[in-house]
Amino acid sequence: MLGSNRAEKVSAPQMTWSDDLGRPTDADPFLVFPLGAPRFVYAVRLRYAYPEAPADDTAELEIFWRRARVEDFQAGVRTARRTVPAAPDGGVVTIEVFDTLDELRLDADPRRGALRVSEIALLVAR
């Protein structure tokens, strides 16, 4: 889900994806969300949950961003990694971006099982 609109063409390599829930099927699961036209984004706010994880556990989230026709997703380039509460009932993380992008990639923590993405909000200038 992107803001209040569903992302139509979510790509889910090494995951199954249905009803905003991704289940890892291999060691490096991730989701790619196309955002349409490139735009300058200050930050991304993600509402997520690892519903199968213990409440006191943590998870690793990594987000990548790019202009799809210009750049590839690359480790250490246009990326941020955060250790977050596993939040089986839901959590929120905001990641500063300060870049122009039209795709987001969210790498899930396969150790925590299923990942629910209930909202991705782009913080942009009006």
Q: Is the pLDDT of residue 5 over 60?
A: no
Q: What is the pTM of this model?
A: 0.88
CATH at residue 74: 2.60.120.1190
Note the pLDDT tens digit of each residue in 19-36. 999 999 999 999 999 998
Domain residue limits at 100: 15-123
Q: Enumerate residues 6+ apart whose C-beta is below 8 A from 122.
A: 2, 3, 35, 39, 41, 44
Tokens of 112: 């925590």
Assess if residue 114 is contained within a domain: yes
Q: What is the mean pLDDT of the chain?
A: 91
Tell whether 8 is covered by a domain: no
Residue 109 is classified by DSSP as -
Residue 35 lies in a domain: yes
Structural domains of the chain, count: 1
Q: pLDDT (tens digit, 9 = 90+) per residue, 49-93?
A: 999 999 999 999 999 999 998 988 988 889 999 999 999 999 999
| Residue 1 is assigned to a structural domain of this protein | no
**Domain for residue 7, yes or no?**
no
Flag whether 10 is in a domain. Answer: no
